[in-house]
Amino acid sequence: MNTDNTIVNAGDINRMITRIAHEILEKHQGVDNLALIGIQTRGVYIAKRIQSEIRKVEGINVLLGEIDITLYRDDWTRISLHPIVKPTEIQFSVDDVNVILVDDVLFTGRTIRAAMDALVDFGRPARIELAVLATRGHREFPIQPDYSGRFFETNYGDSINVLLTEHDGVDKIVIERE
């Protein structure tokens, strides 16, 4: 019996990131006034990969930042009594900038809502968009991605996990069924 729960392999992840980067460039007609902000942890790595793909096409680095949303979550006390807060590094003004938040999985929308709350503490972006590798249903907030690698049909209790070489030693997306 095959117990491998991999639903996306490394090659597919690379193609998804390349496609997302090209969709961003097409929609924005370049990188003027554009910034990528990765949500800790895996969103940061995905944002860096998208930045690298954009650099291959445009020859310049799009602005890049990283944001931790731990203390902005409305459910952080349910997750842990001692949350681990990771760095937020945004070394540029977000005022009037088109910001693309980058994360690994879009599920309920709570992480993205928290990221938007955290982001506006840094200023007033011209626009906030969302790029994710994996999208699934069961939204609790009216949030949808502007750029998505792939949509997966899931049950509420299922778990979609994006594994990345920079953090996990391997690139793949796995599903754990309830």
Pick the CATH number of 6-176 from 3.40.190.80, 3.40.50.2020, 3.90.1860.10, 3.40.50.2300: 3.40.50.2020
Using alpha carbons only, give the angle 44, 63, 106 rounded to the nearest 5 degrees: 35
Q: What is the 3-state secondary structure (H, E, C) of the chain?
A: CCCCCEEECHHHHHHHHHHHHHHHHHHHCCCCCEEEEEECCHHHHHHHHHHHHHHHHHCCCCEEEEECCHHHCCCHHHHCCCCCCCCCECCCCCCCCEEEEEEEEECCCHHHHHHHHHHHCCCCCCEEEEEEEEEECCCCCCCCCCEEEEEECCCCCCEEEEECHHHHCCCEEEEECC
What's the pLDDT at 163? 98
How many of the other CB atoms lie within 10 Å of CB of 155? Answer: 10
* pLDDT for 3 beyond 80: no
Q: Residue 30 above 80 pLDDT?
A: yes
User: What would the pLDDT profile of 117-152 be if each residue is shown by its tens digit?
Assistant: 999 999 999 999 999 999 999 999 999 999 999 999
Domain boundaries, the chain: 6-176
What average pLDDT does the structure give for the chain?
A: 94
pLDDT at residue 152, rounded to an integer: 97
37 close to 66: Cβ distance less than 8 angstroms: yes
- In this prediction, residue 132 carries a pLDDT of 98
The pTM for the full model equals 0.94
Encode pLDDT of 39-82 as tens digits: 999 999 999 999 999 999 999 999 999 999 988 877 655 556 66
Torsion of CA 45, 63, 118, 137, to 10 degrees: -50
Predicted pLDDT of residue 73: 76
| 49/95 Cα distance (integer angstroms) | 24
Percent with pLDDT over 70 in the chain: 93
Taking the C-alpha atoms of residue 26 and residue 56, their distance in angstroms, rounded to an integer, is: 14
pLDDT band with cut points at 50, 70 and 90 for residue 2: very low
